[in-house]
Structure 1
Amino acid sequence: MATLSPTQSPKPRRKPSTRRRAPSQLAPYPNQQIADAHNAAIVGIRNFLKNHTAYDALPVSFRLIVLDTKLNVKKALQCLLLNSVVSAPLWNSETSKFAGMLTVLDIIHLIQYYYRTASYDDAAADVETFKLESLRDIENELGVAQPPLLREHPDSTLYAASRLLMQTHARRLPLLDNDTETGHEVIVSVLTQYRLLKFISINCNQEIQQLHLGLRKLKIGTYIAQNPDEVPESERNNPYYPIATATLGTPVFDVVHMFSERSISAVPIINEEGIVVNLYETVDVITLVRLGAYQSLDLTIAEALNQRSPDFPGVVICTASDSLGTLLQLIKRRRVHRLVVVEGEKGRLLGIITLSDVLRHVIGRAPVAEPAELYEDLPSSNSQAVFEGVATEGPSTGAYDTPVLAPVDIPVDISADTPADTSSENHDT
């Protein structure tokens, strides 16, 4: 007898809905809104740079010091000092071509070379005749990397120039044109990191208002390693790794070696508690050279700071939570090249932020020709204030047994007019 298997009636199929799912009625998290606004502002700044040329960032009137490679080092240094600049393009008059940049770091290399290999009398005599064209030989002797001969045309976009600027040894990019009649190169100007960031801070105010994220959250700057596994065995005795530091009792030559070995331009001076008391810069070494003190590298940092110019503007400090927007607002108002990141009321060293660090974030991560440099930091947009280190007593250049720095609030008035920058175009450090 045949059995019948039960049959199932087919289920009716529903037509796919054409209605869209209703959007969430919940507002996005505030942190997400801030992050989205930050990213949109960065994109806006980059688009702004893509629509402007390097010419646009140059002041209406400026002077440019250019040095011939046949000039001896002593005269070249005197020229820089007399014109209150710290760098200059080099020109090969034999080939009528651009030959690189003379910077403070080149002088540091020269001082280090003579200090190691010659007596003071020999060094003083050689500097009288040593020519700029031989500086690269000194770098070879010291085993330091030679700077690439990077340059850009003034008609190039600021975005393209900025990406190239991040690869330069000197934190500055020469702008070269060509003479249509002779075909020779013409040095038009030099684009510096400070000049570029100031141009952004003046012209991108709307975008800057949206940059509320903290500097450390954005990974802008170099900070003391928190994980012991990140510290190499050779640096285990350095509680501030990877930041180079010194004390008021450190010999100047030790700091000069840090400048040359790490290709940095400043070292925080701290006390035994790690509190920042000052900052020693490459330009301070040039002050010793200007005074004819080739042998003064045996001085302590405290003694060298006593010879610092009274025009020293102080050490600018900030916290890790201060915003990128506030930093750019500060650059709009005053000349800043580096900021020391501190924590606590006493100002214990936490990190350092340089303009290179800021530029890498604003422009984007481009291939860099050398290790990332150390240094620079600033305060938050919520506080609307920055902190500048000043002497607690006596002249600002003196050395003290007590901390030299005391935090002082300096309001950041965004609406204030920016004073005209009349300094030389190749003054930036």
Structure 2
Amino acid sequence: MATLSPSNSPKVLKHKGSSRRRALSHLPPYPSQESHDAALNAIRSFLKATTSYDAFPVSFRLIVLDTKLSVKKALQCLLLNGVVSAPLWNSDRSRFAGMLTVLDIIHLIQYYYRTATYDYAETDVETFKLESLRDIEKKLNVEPPPLLREHPSSTLYDAAKLLIQTHARRLPLLDNDTETGHEVIVSVLTQYRLLKFISINCTKELQHLHLSLRKLKIGTYITPQQSPDGSRSYHPIATASLDSRVFDVVHMFSERSISAVPILDDDGVVLNLYETVDVITLVRTGVYQSLDLTIAEALKQRSPDFPGVVICTASDSLGTLLQLIKKRRVHRLVVVEGERGRLLGIITLSDVLRYVIGEIAIGIGEEVAEQKPADDANSPSKAPPPP
């Protein structure tokens, strides 16, 4: 489990059920709000002067899936290429048809699990087409993902605003073929790619983002209270234990449109994190009954190269967090407190991007910003950080 910590180099702390690693964290003795705000404004100016095309890596590959493809073959394609999402293409109409994400597969699994056809899920998925996934969402009464798109020449600032306004984690970049007039999928801009681009190109500004995450109110934090049965509550964050069934967590993924759930012990200590990609690992061989496993049993089947769970404290700085994103692939951080690491909150890349762009700039309160979150946060509601 990787973490942020004041030390000369990352280290691994032994912890039952996981390992936790802490990265560099430096806070100046007298943090200045003025220098922090100036650095933030400089980053925003940089994004307004930079296009999405500029954020493309020097070399990359793009996986595009035809909507006529079966879900099983599409899933195999994602796994073989080491990606968790891909643009969809409607070959009948020669146009972009949205994105396939892990959450789509989660919805499909939940649909089969709830119906009498669950025992035949493996056979059905052999022929079930990607174009039918939206019908599953309607039957489950979950919000369909927004059909987003942007031009590669749009500014990163505008692209970031669109990501935040629609609660999306990725933004397809489309152009038009001048000869045929058809749409062309050029690339996909993710929140991670955008934040990493900032951390690489704004190193001077990052040095001044030294105010703590607690002070900046970045993330979702638990509201201290007890459940009706007297047990400890971690509202509004969805949590599970090692004894929880995989499907119970899958239900949380689908119902709340989230992509990860912290695994806690009886004292609220963070033991691990169960993610949507872990479910895909279980069902990739067609063993759908494995959803009845406990989380403890399912974690034993996790790939040995699992990168770990990134944790931090509310006292760590935004600059440190962005430096970590530059060094390794990070999708979320679990905020902990105390020596044992009790759960305090969760910080997603959406939270970080929302703060960097600014709530006024992205139009918080507008209708588009009130859509149900999709696959980016642990909870649709936000609780303030502890004092």
Q: Is contact 1:221-1:374 (8 Å) kept? A: no
User: Residue 266 of structure 2 is aligned with which of 261, 267, 272?
Assistant: 272
SS at the partner of 2:165?
coil
In 1, the alpha carbon distance for the partners of 2:284 and 2:120 equals: 18
In 2, the alpha carbon distance for the partners of 1:234 and 1:374 equals: 25
Using a 3 Å threshold, how does the CA distance of structure 1 residues 124 and 82 change in structure 2: closer, same or farther?
A: same
Using a 3 Å threshold, how does the CA distance of structure 1 residues 238 and 182 change in structure 2: closer, same or farther?
A: farther
Measured after TM superposition, the shift of residue 236 of structure 1 is 8.3
SS at the partner of 2:136?
helix
Q: Which runs of 5+ in 2 are unaligned?
A: 1-28, 380-387
**Could you tell which deviates more after superposition, 116-125 or 36-45?**
116-125
Report what 2:176 is aligned to: 178
In 1, the alpha carbon distance for the partners of 2:95 and 2:231 equals: 48
Report what 1:318 is aligned to: 312
Report what 1:52 is aligned to: 50
Report what 2:68 is aligned to: 70
SS at the partner of 2:213?
coil
User: Residue 150 of structure 1 is aligned with which of 133, 144, 148?
Assistant: 148
Report what 1:137 is aligned to: 135
Alignment partner of 1:284 is 2:278: yes
Q: In the alignment, residue 76 of structure 2 is paired with which amino acid?
A: Q
Q: Is contact 1:166-1:356 (8 Å) kept? A: yes
Measured after TM superposition, the shift of residue 374 of structure 1 is 3.2
Alignment partner of 1:246 is 2:240: yes
Measured after TM superposition, the shift of residue 310 of structure 1 is 0.6
Q: Which runs of 5+ in 1 are unaligned?
A: 1-29, 377-429
Measured after TM superposition, the shift of residue 334 of structure 1 is 0.7
Measured after TM superposition, the shift of residue 121 of structure 1 is 3.3
Q: Deviations over 1:20-79 (max 9, x none)?
A: xxxxxxxxxx96x61111111111100000000000001011000000011111111111
Give the TM-score taking structure 1 as reference length.
0.77
Report what 1:300 is aligned to: 294
User: Residue 35 of structure 1 is aligned with which of 24, 33, 36?
Assistant: 33
Using a 3 Å threshold, how does the CA distance of structure 1 residues 290 and 170 change in structure 2: closer, same or farther?
A: farther
SS at the partner of 2:151?
coil
In 1, the alpha carbon distance for the partners of 2:106 and 2:228 equals: 25
Q: In the alignment, residue 363 of structure 1 is paired with which amino acid?
A: I
Report what 1:225 is aligned to: 223
User: Residue 105 of structure 2 is aligned with which of 104, 107, 111?
Assistant: 107
Report what 2:158 is aligned to: 160
In 2, the alpha carbon distance for the partners of 1:309 and 1:167 equals: 34
SS at the partner of 1:216?
helix
Measured after TM superposition, the shift of residue 155 of structure 1 is 0.2
Q: Deviations over 1:268-287 (max 9, x none)?
A: 00001110001000000000
In 1, the alpha carbon distance for the partners of 2:236 and 2:149 equals: 31
User: Residue 192 of structure 1 is aligned with which of 169, 178, 190?
Assistant: 190
Q: Deviations over 1:218-267 (max 9, x none)?
A: 111110114x5xx9x98985511111000000000000011111111100
In 2, the alpha carbon distance for the partners of 1:310 and 1:193 equals: 26
Report what 1:332 is aligned to: 326
SS at the partner of 2:322?
helix
Q: In the alignment, residue 99 of structure 1 is paired with which amino acid?
A: A
Report what 1:93 is aligned to: 91
Measured after TM superposition, the shift of residue 87 of structure 1 is 0.3
SS at the partner of 1:94?
coil
Q: Is contact 2:69-2:129 (8 Å) kept? A: yes
RCO higher in structure (CA 8 A, sep ≥6): 2
Q: Is contact 1:265-1:281 (8 Å) kept? A: yes
Using a 3 Å threshold, how does the CA distance of structure 1 residues 375 and 330 change in structure 2: closer, same or farther?
A: farther
Q: Is contact 2:65-2:74 (8 Å) kept? A: yes
Using a 3 Å threshold, how does the CA distance of structure 1 residues 173 and 238 change in structure 2: closer, same or farther?
A: farther
Give the TM-score taking structure 2 as reference length.
0.85
In 1, the alpha carbon distance for the partners of 2:59 and 2:138 equals: 38
Report what 1:374 is aligned to: 377
- Please state which structure has a larger fraction of its residues in helix: 2
Q: Deviations over 1:158-191 (max 9, x none)?
A: 0001111123454000000000111100000000
Using a 3 Å threshold, how does the CA distance of structure 1 residues 272 and 237 change in structure 2: closer, same or farther?
A: closer
Q: Is contact 2:310-2:333 (8 Å) kept? A: yes
Q: Is contact 1:338-1:375 (8 Å) kept? A: no
> What number of residue pairs does the alignment pair up?
342
In 2, the alpha carbon distance for the partners of 1:136 and 1:357 equals: 27
